[in-house]
């Protein structure tokens, strides 16, 4: 079993109940020990509550848009990215060779750690962990949200046409037979504005 203090340093949280820490790093392939599956189940719920509240407070969008944005935050890819930044898999106790780690192991482990922190330190501790480790995503990143939505529906990507004007930039985005135009003081802001408008159109359907 990996050293617990090293795992705590990677997480950035010190557990009062070390048994919870051991459990969250115990894979289901290990016989005779409680696995992290129940903690993963709990962590999934804590994560969804955190993201839902964050979007509600930070993002002035309609329900359909908020739902799609939440999917982006809690996607397997997003959680795997968060796990990679922390390097948690090196502490996982598992049996059966590398085959045991196939599938959603990284994202599941991230959820299990979230659940363990919640049980040990309450929602405030879990919230602080999620705020720090999911910091790479923005509630207003409509360009990423639009791309994910389009890929889910048609396995294509949006196309952007941007031009500079006297007053800044204008951008037109096309996807799924629809288009929208936005403007901004920079190319990035113009693209985000256009993506937000088209995202809104597509989530109304």
Among all residues, which ones are annotated catalytic?
Answer: 44, 111
Q: How are beta strands 159-165 and 178-184 bridged, if at all?
A: unpaired
Tell the residue number behind the tokens 């990284």, with chain if given: 106
How do the residues of the chain divide into helix, strand and coil, expressed in percent and rounded to 5?
60, 10, 25
Return the bridge partners of 173, or none: 160, 180
Q: In this structure, are residues 126 and 114 in contact, taking their beta carbons and an 8 Å threshold?
A: yes
Contacts (Cβ under 8 Å, ≥6 apart) of 105: 27, 89, 92
Helices (H) and strands (E) in the chain, counts: 8, 3
Task: Give burial (CB, 10 Å; 0-12/13-18/19+) of 32.
Answer: exposed
Task: Annotate 79-101 with b (16+ C-beta within 10 A) or e (fewer).
Answer: bbbbbeebebbebbbbeeeeeee
The Cα 179–Cα 197 span in angstroms is 9
């Amino acid at each position: 079993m990996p050293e617990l203090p090293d795992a705590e340093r990677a997480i950035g949280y010190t557990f009062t109940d070390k048994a919870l820490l051991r459990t969250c790093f115990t894979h289901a392939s290990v016989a005779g020990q409680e696995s992290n599956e129940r903690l993963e189940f709990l962590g999934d719920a804590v994560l969804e509550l955190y993201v839902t509240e964050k979007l509600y407070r930070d993002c002035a969008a309609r329900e359909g848009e908020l739902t799609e944005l939440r999917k982006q935050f809690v996607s397997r890819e997003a959680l795997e990215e968060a796990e990679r930044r922390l390097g948690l898999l090196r502490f996982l106790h598992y049996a059966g060779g590398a085959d045991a780690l196939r599938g959603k192991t990284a994202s599941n482990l991230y959820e299990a750690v979230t659940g363990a922190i919640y049980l040990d330190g309450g929602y405030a501790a879990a919230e602080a962990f999620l705020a720090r480790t999911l910091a790479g995503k923005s509630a207003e990143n409509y360009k990423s949200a639009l791309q994910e939505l389009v890929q889910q529906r048609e396995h294509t990507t949006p196309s952007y046409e941007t031009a500079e004007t006297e007053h800044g930039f204008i951008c037109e985005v096309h996807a799924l037979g629809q288009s929208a135009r936005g403007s901004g003081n920079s190319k990035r802001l113009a693209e985000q504005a256009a993506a937000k408008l088209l995202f809104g159109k597509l989530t109304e359907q």
